[in-house]
Amino acid sequence: MTGWTGKMLRVDLTAGETSVEELCRHDLRDFVGARGLGSRLLYVAGAYAVDPLAPENPLIFATGPLTGTYAPSGGRYNVLCRSPLTGAIAASNSGGYWGPELKFAGFDLIYVTGKAASPVYLWVNDGRAEIRPADGIWGKTVSETEDAVRAQTHPEAKVACIGPAGERLVRIACVVNDKSRAAGRSGVGAVMGSKNLKAIAVRGTRPVRVADKEGFKAARKRAMEKILSHPVTSGGLPTYGTAVLVNVINAHGAFPTRNFQTGVFAEAERISGETLAKEYLVRKKACFACSMACGRPTLIPSGPFKGSGEGPEYEAAWALGADCGVSDLAAVTAANWQCNEMGIDPISYGATLACAMELYQRGYLTREQAGREMRWGDGQLLVEGVRLTALREGIGNLLAEGSYRLASEFGHPELSMTAKKQEYPAYEPRAVQGIGLNYATSNRGGCHVRGYTISSEVLGIPEKLDPLVPDNKAFWVKAFQDATALVDSSGVCLFVTFAIGAPEIADLLAAATGEAYTTESGLLAGERIWNLERMFNLKAGFTRADDTLAPRLLSEPMPEGPARGQVSRLEVMLPEYYRLRGWDEEGRPTEETLARLGLKW
């Protein structure tokens, strides 16, 4: 097989057994790989009905057919399971080198079920696998774990692991690979921890092949010409990283500040990508096969936060910065490093701390209950809080549950800025209407990388839309969501879509796999994947009532800035969105829609 390896590694941690299975060619073609293929396997397994932290919840590490090739930024993989944060489907995407290494080891994906009796790690070496005790490794931070596992396996092994947060079933724990790349969202690290699985080390020495070499080379060349000439992918991202957006989004009054109490952060410049580049950036760094190099190796030479690591990226700079009212870039950077080391999603962590700070501001959370003051802008608390959360110490035990459970604990769930219990990222739905519809309908809850309408509404790619109006946003949200599902499933990074789209991805997929992907069939696959995820969530008990936003965004007018006076117009956009999707008024795909997408089993 080309593009795909056609093989999956099945691991039963309860039985302590591993086996190799062939993947169904029809599933590969129809669901492409990575996010799509993993979702298909979760659905077939009935994972929507399991307790997310029970041994029965499958934990899938899945690559796409372009992973491991020189397709633009072709180094991604997804971690999938039922999320312990949301109860919805989880598919978290990561870069680095781990995903390609899995392909070189001969597998498209690893499918883990069960629970080991005591902590273990998995060693995958060129088509073979071994479950090994993790005594002496359990409890270690991410970089310590990676070094220890590599020392016990192979110097060239790539390692994906959990930190102390995943071990303690922190609902916002992530899986980290290559020390600083994370499958960040939806608490996939807690599911790994619930299985007593500390790490997966992979070593692969085999080739990845494509069906049509000349066709692949030509398709890649066409795509790269666009990526290397687009100002975002060849200029903004390499030079300033994703945090180049801080000043842009703030200027639109769309930079959520102090738990979304406003959309303007007066000190945004201080936590921007430009300031990071000036103060702490060492150089730019790329993931596998990527020309954009948005990774930010950083170094703080002196002061209380002295050290080095990677990041922050835009979303982390926002969550740890503006959302908590913190403008000390050193504190934001150090907190980001701590998140990498402890294995915590910095978006959900920052947003949950921001929620706690607002509870404190309003007197719903007292100093006695928190065990300390919880004031806006406290950089020391921001950094220390990561460890407290990972170890579930003091107030950290509540932060570890995410903002919805935290706010509910104190009787004010309305102060949790979440959709389906997952924290929103760094764009204000009152200032950018389409992104609000995307948050509300995202299959994994609050998330920007399911349908990144910021691209059109703010950056004007592929065309400029007025962010303040709801008109036609349903159309664009659906278009972005379907295209993104295709991109995520192919194994390339979403960021390439600033410069290229479904036509280029389809050409690469066709040349790699030999299947007749076209722009139309590729986008149909994306829509199929989106609807399959939706079906998963409906079976998990979600309804139309869950396709909503925090009350603040729907009823409290934005107090200042370019979006002053605005609320989210979700009530206008949502029915139109359902109609365009071919769903009924309750948000369920109709029989005709399922038949059109080949989802009637």
State the residues that interact with another protein by CB under 8 A: 68-70, 97, 104, 143, 178-180, 205-210, 213, 217, 228, 282-291, 293, 295, 297, 299, 308
Q: Give min distance, CB of 94 to another protein, in A.
A: 15
Q: Give min distance, CB of 503 to another protein, in A.
A: 22
Q: Give min distance, CB of 98 to another protein, in A.
A: 13
261/47 Cα distance (integer angstroms): 37
Q: Give min distance, CB of 426 to another protein, in A.
A: 25
Which of 219, 214, 165 has its CA nearest to residue 193? 165
Query: What is the three-class DSSP state of 308?
Result: strand
Q: Give the residue with the Cβ less far from another protein, 283 or 375.
A: 283
Instruction: Work out the end-to-end distance of the chain between its first and last CA atoms, rounded to an integer number of angstroms.
Output: 26
Q: Give the residue with the Cβ less far from another protein, 3 or 451.
A: 3
Q: Give min distance, CB of 499 to another protein, in A.
A: 13
Instruction: Tell me the HSE value of 109 on the side-chain side, using a 13 A CA sphere.
Output: 33
CA distances from 63 to 75, 219, 492 (A): 8, 20, 10
Q: Give the residue with the Cβ less far from another protein, 105 or 169.
A: 105
Q: Give min distance, CB of 227 to another protein, in A.
A: 9
β partners of residue 177: 160, 181
Q: Give the residue with the Cβ less far from another protein, 10 or 285.
A: 285
Q: Give the residue with the Cβ less far from another protein, 150 or 544.
A: 150
Q: What are phi and psi of 580, to 5 degrees?
A: -65, -30
Q: Give the residue with the Cβ less far from another protein, 27 or 147.
A: 147
334/299 Cα distance (integer angstroms): 9
**Which residues, 6+ apart, have CB-to-CB distance to 334 below 8 Å?**
300, 305, 307, 383
Q: Give min distance, CB of 147 to another protein, in A.
A: 10
509/29 Cα distance (integer angstroms): 10
**Which residues, 6+ apart, have CB-to-CB distance to 429 below 8 Å?**
435, 436, 439, 549, 553, 568, 570
**Which residues, 6+ apart, have CB-to-CB distance to 214 below 8 Å?**
none
255/316 Cα distance (integer angstroms): 13
Q: Give the residue with the Cβ less far from another protein, 288 or 439.
A: 288
Q: Give min distance, CB of 35 to another protein, in A.
A: 21
Q: Give the residue with the Cβ less far from another protein, 1 or 293.
A: 293
Q: Give min distance, CB of 375 to another protein, in A.
A: 34
For Cα atoms 443, 46, 483, give the angle at the middle one, nearest 5 degrees: 30
Q: Give min distance, CB of 127 to another protein, in A.
A: 14
Q: Give min distance, CB of 220 to another protein, in A.
A: 9
Q: Give the residue with the Cβ less far from another protein, 325 or 343.
A: 343
DSSP state of 198: E
Which of 442, 541, 540, 538 has its CA nearest to residue 57? 540
Q: Give the residue with the Cβ less far from another protein, 295 or 385.
A: 295
Q: Give the residue with the Cβ less far from another protein, 289 or 342.
A: 289
Q: Are 259 and 355 in contact (CB under 8 A)?
A: yes
286/488 Cα distance (integer angstroms): 18
Q: Give the residue with the Cβ less far from another protein, 132 or 285.
A: 285
Q: Give min distance, CB of 195 to another protein, in A.
A: 27
Q: Give min distance, CB of 140 to another protein, in A.
A: 16
Q: Give the residue with the Cβ less far from another protein, 20 or 282.
A: 282
Residue 22 structure tokens: 């062939």
518/346 Cα distance (integer angstroms): 37
**Which residues, 6+ apart, have CB-to-CB distance to 235 below 8 Å?**
none
**Packing angle, helices 570-581 and 433-441, rounded to 10:** 60
Residue 432 structure tokens: 């950018």
Q: Give the residue with the Cβ less far from another protein, 299 or 469.
A: 299
399/393 Cα distance (integer angstroms): 10
Q: Give min distance, CB of 204 to another protein, in A.
A: 8
Q: Give the residue with the Cβ less far from another protein, 44 or 228.
A: 228
Q: Could you tell me where the DSSP H helices lie in 2-46?
A: 25-31, 34-44
225/548 Cα distance (integer angstroms): 40
Query: What is the three-class DSSP state of 127?
Result: coil
CA distances from 20 to 3, 65, 472 (A): 18, 18, 47
Question: How would DSSP label each residue in 314-326?
Answer: HHHHHHHTGGGT-
Q: Give min distance, CB of 180 to another protein, in A.
A: 7
Kindly report whether the peptide bond that precedes residue 462 is cis, defined as omega within 30 degrees of 0: yes
Query: What is the three-class DSSP state of 579?
Result: helix
223/202 Cα distance (integer angstroms): 30
